Every structure is written in C-alpha cells, then in structure tokens.
C-alpha cells in the first residue's frame, strides 16, 4: 500500500539518504580527496531507476513478452545494460555459458475426470515443472508415501527413495508431496517405477512468508533427465487428488535444449585496489511467462543506476557489478561465474551484495540475515555477513523505515558466493509468500495476500512495482556501494571454504522461491 505519492517520496528519500551517508560512513577510513556523499546519494534517483525498468518492459514487449535466458528478450536486456555500462567507462565482459534451456510451447492442462469432473487453472492451481518432458496422459492417481494431514513442521520424505514406490502400478500418475529431497530425485524415481506422469504438490504446513507451504510450488527438476510430464500443484489440489479412485488427465507441451547459450554481464570500475573487490549483483533474466519487471528488473535497475552514478568515483576499493543470466533455471549464471574463479580471484572478492525483487507490490523490507539472529536454525552467512546486515539496518533506521531479517536459504545468487566463504548480504521485498498480520501492521499492505501476486506471471510488468519500496531500496543500494567503496574495514576475505559449517554450503533450502530442491 503506497503511503505517500511517488514524487513526494523521491524528495524525502533523497534528502534523508544524503544526511544518512556521513552518519553511516563515520569511522570508516576513506581515500583522499573524499568525494561528496550528499551529491552521490542524490545522483541515484528512483526516477532514473524507474526509467531502466520501463526500458526492460519495452524490451519484453518487443520479444514475445519475456526476457527469459536463451531468448531474444534476454539478449536485448544484456545489450542494454552492457551498453550503458560501457558508455559510463566500465570495463565490461559478456561471460557466455551453456545451459539447458526450457520453455512451455503451450499452456499445460490438468483436470480431474473421476469420480467428479473438475478443471484446474494453470498458474493458480498448478504449473509445469521446469525441464518437464512433453506428454498427454489420462490415468489413475497413486499417492506415494504421503503424509496427510501434514505434520506441524515439514517432515515429508515422499518419493525420495525407491522403496517409496513399492507396489506402484505401472502407467499410473504418481502423486508426490514436497519435502526432504530435490524434485529431480522424485521425478526420476517415479519414472523408474513406471509412472506415466508426476504431480508434485506442496507439503501443506500453514505459516506466513516463506514458511507457508500451501501455495503453488514454482519449481525445477534441474535438467531434462525425465521423459514424462511433471507438474507441480498447490497443497489443496494435491490433497484433493489424493482421494481414492481419482483419475486425472494432464498435459505438458515443452521444449528443452541442453546446449542453449546465454551470458552474464560483468562490469569492473577503473578505480580502486584490484585486490579488494566489492561486488554487487542481481539477476537480469525473467521467467518465460512474463517480463519480470519486479523479478528481477527491479534489482537490476537499482544496481545499474548505482553503477552509472559511481563510475567516476575515485574509490579506495574496486567496484564490480554483475547481472546474472539463467538465475530462474537454478542460479546458473552465478554458479558458472563462481566456479570459474581461481582461489586467488575468490580471495580478492571481499563481499557480495545481492538484490533480487526490491519493489514487490505488497512489500516487506527484508535484509538478509547474516548472523542467524532472526530465525533459529536458519543458515548464517560466512563471517562478515553480520556486518553487512548491520550496515543495512543502520540505513533503514536512518531513513525511518522498518525492516526485518530474511533467511539465507540459497534461493538467489548469493548462494554460490556463501558456499565458497565470501561474506554476503542484500535486500528482498518478498515473492509468493503470504504476508502476515504482524508484517502488515509493520510495513502496511494487505495481510493474507502474497507479497507479489504477479510473481512468475505475465502481470509482472511495470504496473507491478511499488514505487515506495523501489525508492527506499535504491537508496540502500547506493548507500552500501558508497560505504564499501571507501572503507578500509571490509567484511571478509573470500577464502574458499566450500561446504564448511555456517556458510550455507548445504544446498538450497526448502523455501526457495526459485525452487530447485525440496
């Protein structure tokens, strides 16, 4: 809910951010001559960020409504960003990599034909799992080790072991519950047991935000390794289909290409110590279904405008900006980038800041929880991530805005960085999770509704952006970039430490909004 007019908020945030920067940066050693913090803050205008979003919207409109990796829309998005950065004087690299491309050629279908007929709605009740094969099947539904009703806390291991399929009738459609293992394992075991199709439905726990496991899972089976259609569904649909004697008809019409090419856009500043790299990033691709203006045009536009305004700053530390490809297919661009770094190159990256969905219409102001102080049992970031969290907390306090912690679940492009021990942080305003009454009281907006009702849908367009959230978070990005560009007390070292406790190296969490696993 927009508490102020857009024009009024631009003035307020610009003025408060200008006053905030010297307060937050006090105590950090800076190079001489010291640039003017007020001028830099005011140069990163939300109206300019919004113009980048408008351009991304236009690119999608010119390219079948999408900017997904492997499409002309993403290529045009990358060209736009790279062109702006080159003109600003950055050393720009287009890092090309292959990835398994996927798209729905036509919309999937799902309907119950017995005992009573019912048609389900694509995008609301069910969707295609990314990398599902094509197929058109009518068959009996057979539940696989289901836990109904669900336990209070996530516990389902449905479809995670071959033994779960003992007695499975060949030709039936496997109905599998979300939980414990990745979707690819569930689909592959179902096919091996003779299933003609698979429906993976949400586990069913009631909660708020990412803890709610009733809605539609937007997931991927990682790669096109199965040869049967695989759909995902809400808990309500799965519970209904689990009734004895249920028969359904389902279809998927998909295209996969194991060797499609896409690219990351990387920009390096001309200034600063190359042994002390401060890195900011966001994913540039959308899903195939829509233009992706909030997810993640918003983060990309905020990072881009910050980079353009920072191009002339004679910084103490080196700034590097990344615009990732194929994030929506499993963080593939950031994974590729981190995997290609030598140990020496990793050690030069002192921190990574990630901005994914910074303008959700029913927003919260979420800060990645670097020290696991907000939720017991969630993975903390590598040492130094807590300092990043505190910097963002200081910004929101200074501009008079509430904030909350959001967990490192591995759901976005910080994941590959924290897995190798690089301190990380960033901002997130919410995806498909449901806003609680407490969050509505704290941030405004509508309790009981998704943070972004257009998440991964065609309506994620320029009208799906909250101007207040965009303005406040754009100021936060600019503040963090300025502070760390001049600080001689950076959060960490980036020494490789894959899989060590506390780095988030244990795989993607169960609440990923780009669900790869569980």
CB of 378 within 8 A of CB of 490? no
- The angle subtended at Cα 224 by Cα 241 and Cα 74, nearest 5°, is 105
Who contacts 362 (Cβ-Cβ below 8 Å, separation ≥6)? Answer: 1, 430, 435, 445, 446, 449, 450, 451, 452, 453, 466
E strand or H helix at 16, and its extent?
Answer: helix 6-25
How many Cβ atoms from other residues are within 10 Å of residue 34's Cβ? Answer: 11
Q: Which of 138, 146, 241 is nearest to 186 (CA)?
A: 146
Distance CA 389, CA 374 (A): 11
Distance CA 322, CA 266 (A): 5
Q: Which member of 239, 305, 327, 432 is catalytic? A: 327
CB of 227 within 8 A of CB of 132? no
Q: What is the DSSP string of 43-84?
A: HS-HHHHHHHHHHHHHHHHTTTT--BTTSHHHHHHHHHHHHH
Question: Which DSSP letter does residue 105 get?
Answer: E
Distance CA 412, CA 514 (A): 8
Whether 389 sits among the annotated catalytic residues: the reply is: no
Give the residue numbers annotated as catalytic, written as ranges.
327
């Amino acid at each position: 809910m927009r508490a102020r007019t857009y024009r009024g908020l631009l003035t307020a945030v610009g003025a408060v951010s200008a006053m905030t920067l010297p307060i937050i940066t006090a105590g950090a050693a800076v190079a001489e001559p010291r640039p003017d913090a007020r001028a830099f803050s005011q140069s990163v205008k939300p109206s300019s960020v919004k113009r980048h979003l408008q351009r991304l919207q236009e690119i999608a409109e010119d390219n079948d409504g999408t900017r997904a990796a492997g499409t002309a829309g993403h290529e045009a998005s990358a060209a736009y960003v790279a062109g702006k950065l080159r003109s600003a004087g950055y050393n720009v690299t287009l890092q090309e990599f292959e990835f398994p491309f996927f798209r729905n050629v036509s919309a999937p279908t799902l309907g119950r034909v017995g005992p009573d007929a019912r048609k389900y709605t694509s995008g609301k009740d069910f969707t295609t799992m990314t990398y599902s094969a094509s197929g058109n099947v009518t068959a009996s539904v057979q539940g696989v080790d289901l836990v109904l009703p669900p336990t209070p806390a996530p516990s389902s291991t449905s479809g995670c072991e071959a033994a779960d399929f003992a007695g499975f009738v060949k030709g039936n459609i496997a109905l599998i519950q979300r939980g414990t293992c990745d979707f690819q394992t569930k689909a592959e075991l179902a096919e091996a047991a003779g299933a003609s199709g698979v429906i993976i439905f949400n586990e069913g726990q009631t909660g708020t935000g990412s803890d709610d496991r009733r809605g539609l899972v937007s997931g991927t089976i990682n790669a096109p390794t199965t040869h049967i259609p695989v759909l995902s569904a809400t808990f309500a649909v799965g519970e209904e289909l689990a009734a004895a004697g249920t028969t359904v008809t389902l279809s998927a019409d998909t295209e996969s290409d194991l060797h499609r090419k896409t690219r990351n856009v990387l920009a390096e500043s001309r200034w600063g110590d190359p042994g002390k790299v401060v890195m900011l990033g966001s994913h540039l691709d959308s899903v195939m279904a829509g233009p992706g203006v909030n997810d993640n045009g918003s983060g990309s536009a905020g990072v881009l405008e910050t980079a353009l305004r920072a191009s002339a700053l004679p910084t103490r530390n080196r700034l590097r900006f990344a615009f990732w490809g194929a994030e929506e297919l499993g963080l593939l661009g950031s994974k590729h980038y981190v995997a290609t770094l030598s140990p020496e190159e990793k050690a030069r990256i002192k921190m990574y800041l990630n901005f994914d969905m910074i303008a959700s219409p029913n927003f919260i102001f979420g800060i990645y929880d670097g020290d696991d102080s907000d939720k017991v049992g969630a993975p903390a970031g590598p040492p130094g991530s807590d300092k990043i969290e505190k910097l963002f907390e200081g910004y929101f306090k200074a501009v008079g805005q509430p904030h909350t912690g959001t967990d490192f679940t591995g759901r976005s492009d910080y994941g590959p960085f924290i897995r190798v021990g690089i301190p990380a942080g960033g901002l997130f305003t919410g995806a498909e999770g449901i806003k609680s009454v407490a969050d509505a009281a704290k941030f405004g907006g509508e309790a009981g509704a998704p943070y972004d009702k257009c998440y991964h849908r065609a309506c994620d367009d320029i009208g799906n952006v909250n101007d207040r959230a965009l303005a406040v978070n754009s100021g936060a990005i600019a503040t963090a970039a300025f502070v760390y560009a001049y600080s001689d007390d950076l959060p960490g070292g980036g020494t490789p430490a894959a899989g060590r406790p506390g780095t988030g190296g244990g795989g993607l969490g169960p609440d990923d909004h780009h669900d790869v696993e569980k």
